[in-house]
Amino acid sequence: MIEGKKDFLTVNDFSKNALMGLLELAMKMKKDRKKFRHSLDDKKLGMIFTKSSTRTRVSFEAGIYEMGGMGIFLSSNDIQIGRGETIADTARVLSRYLDGIMIRTFSHNEVKELAKYAGIPVINGLTDLLHPCQAMADMQTVIERKGRVEGLKVAFIGDGNNVAHSLALLCSKLGVNFSIASPEGYDMNPAIIEKIKSNMAVSGAKFVTTRDVKTAAEGADVLTTDVWASMGQEKEAEARRKAFAGYSIDSKLAALAKPDYLFLHCLPAHRGEEVSAEVIDGPRSVIFDEAENRLHAQKAIMHELMR
């Protein structure tokens, strides 16, 4: 299904058909959880965390358990990377013990290096550049609610960060129009933008970057955002609040989207900052379906890589 790929580092490594196949598998696994409960019997997933998490840890650990395997939590304090062992050596050693590695860390280059030297699959649980598992869960949620993704419009309001990068890349692969409104100085990575444009030249979808939140949100099928200051950016929090003033999804902005729009948020959320309570807790919000779908999307990825 995923074309002989060993790792899941970015959605951009996969074709539209492969990505849709993973999403369809995720929905099958959600519908019939018992059917897949022995698919990874006795398999072991090492879970490296240099960034703490609620959803990533619990969803991966529960997911591997539901398929008959086990997850082993490894914080930076638990392994020798935190004391100077090279990533290459860590990758080689863990490959002798485990059947797969999930890593949630800061530098994307660390994940690439881990995958380079590991003899087992590596899954990107999050880096400062990308968050591919979240994007898969997001798109699964949209498919479940809309019945399709191709031709829809996704509008992201806020920081052109790792969440925006992976979601835009996935949209560009699947033929989903993507617009993003960000304040000056918080645009998406230029190299990621080039990949998005290249993908959309093939898929036929449209990509819009703007400073105007109304332009981005108008006619959207999906509205989404992320916190203004992510983990590791605490010292920038006040400066970011000032920069992102006016980049909040409230009911007035949401009124520009389609009446049946969906609201997504990867969580955790700060009500009153990037989104108002009336939107995130309102009838168009599907944030908890989205959070649940991290489990199912990641189960599909592990199922395909670790068998």
Check whether residue 165 and residue 103 sit in a common domain.
no
Q: Say if 1 falls within a structural domain.
A: no
DSSP state of 257: S
Surface-to-core class of residue 77, CB atoms within 10 Å of its CB (0-12 exposed, 13-18 middle, 19+ buried): exposed
| 240 classed as catalytic | no
> What does each C-alpha distance from 162 to 1, 57, 124, 266 come to in angstroms?
25, 18, 12, 11
Check whether residue 226 and residue 140 sit in a common domain.
yes
CB neighbour list of residue 239: distance below 8 Å, 6 or more residues apart: none
Mean pLDDT value of segment 124-151 = 98
Q: Say if 155 falls within a structural domain.
A: yes
Check whether residue 113 and residue 158 sit in a common domain.
no
Which pLDDT belongs to residue 76? Answer: 81
103: tokens are: 């890593």
67: tokens are: 């398929």
| 41 classed as catalytic | no
Q: Does residue 200 carry a pLDDT above 70?
A: yes
Q: Say if 3 falls within a structural domain.
A: no
Give the end-to-end CA distance of the chain in Å, rounded to a whole number.
12
Q: Say if 6 falls within a structural domain.
A: no
Q: Encode pLDDT of 101-124 as tens digits.
A: 999 999 999 999 999 999 999 999
Q: Say if 90 falls within a structural domain.
A: yes
For the chain, helix, strand, coil in percent to 5 are 45, 15, 35
Check whether residue 121 and residue 157 sit in a common domain.
no
Query: Strand 153-157 vs strand 177-181: parallel, antiparallel, or unpaired?
Result: parallel
From the candidates 99, 138, 159, 226, which is the catalytic residue? 226
Mean pLDDT value of segment 127-151 = 98
Mean pLDDT value of segment 224-229 = 93
Q: Say if 4 falls within a structural domain.
A: no
Q: Which helix (H) or strand (E) holds 156?
A: strand 153-157
Check whether residue 78 and residue 192 sit in a common domain.
no
From the candidates 266, 284, 296, 303, which is the catalytic residue? 266
- Asked which of 85-89, 100-104, 136-140, 141-145 is least confident by mean pLDDT, the reply is 85-89
Which pLDDT belongs to residue 227? Answer: 95
From the candidates 131, 240, 265, 303, which is the catalytic residue? 131
| 294 classed as catalytic | yes
Which pLDDT belongs to residue 240? Answer: 93
Which pLDDT belongs to residue 2? Answer: 66
Which pLDDT belongs to residue 264? Answer: 99
Mean pLDDT value of segment 227-240 = 80
Q: Encode pLDDT of 29-68 as tens digits.
A: 999 999 999 999 999 999 999 988 999 999 999 999 999 9
Higher pLDDT, 51 or 244: 244
| 133 classed as catalytic | no
Distance CA(191)–CA(95), nearest Å, equals 31
Confidence bin at 260 (pLDDT 50/70/90): very high
Q: Encode pLDDT of 1-31 as tens digits.
A: 666 679 999 999 999 999 999 999 999 999 9
- What type of residue sits at position 10? T
Q: Which CATH number characterizes residue 162's domain?
A: 3.40.50.1370
DSSP state of 25: H
In the chain, % of residues over pLDDT 70: 97
Check whether residue 147 and residue 284 sit in a common domain.
yes
Mean pLDDT value of segment 241-248 = 95
From the candidates 55, 57, 284, 294, which is the catalytic residue? 294
Mean pLDDT value of segment 292-305 = 98
Q: Say if 41 falls within a structural domain.
A: yes
Check whether residue 298 and residue 201 sit in a common domain.
no
Check whether residue 68 and residue 115 sit in a common domain.
yes
Q: Does residue 205 carry a pLDDT above 90?
A: yes
From the candidates 7, 55, 57, 104, which is the catalytic residue? 104
Q: Encode pLDDT of 154-165 as tens digits.
A: 999 999 999 999
Check whether residue 154 and residue 286 sit in a common domain.
yes
| 226 classed as catalytic | yes
Check whether residue 256 and residue 299 sit in a common domain.
no
Give the predicted TM-score (pTM) of the model.
0.96
Q: Does residue 302 carry a pLDDT above 90?
A: yes
Confidence bin at 82 (pLDDT 50/70/90): low
Check whether residue 67 and residue 182 sit in a common domain.
no
Which pLDDT belongs to residue 105? Answer: 95
- What total of structural domains would you count in the chain? 2
From the candidates 7, 99, 134, 140, which is the catalytic residue? 134
Check whether residue 138 and residue 243 sit in a common domain.
yes
Q: What is the average pLDDT score of the chain? A: 95
240: tokens are: 């970011």
Mean pLDDT value of segment 264-277 = 97
Q: Say if 2 falls within a structural domain.
A: no
Range of the domain at 64: 11-131+293-306
Q: Does residue 242 carry a pLDDT above 80?
A: yes
Distance CA(239)–CA(157), nearest Å, equals 17
| 131 classed as catalytic | yes
In the chain, % of residues over pLDDT 90: 90
For 163-268, strand residue ranges (E) read 177-181, 207-210, 222-225, 262-265
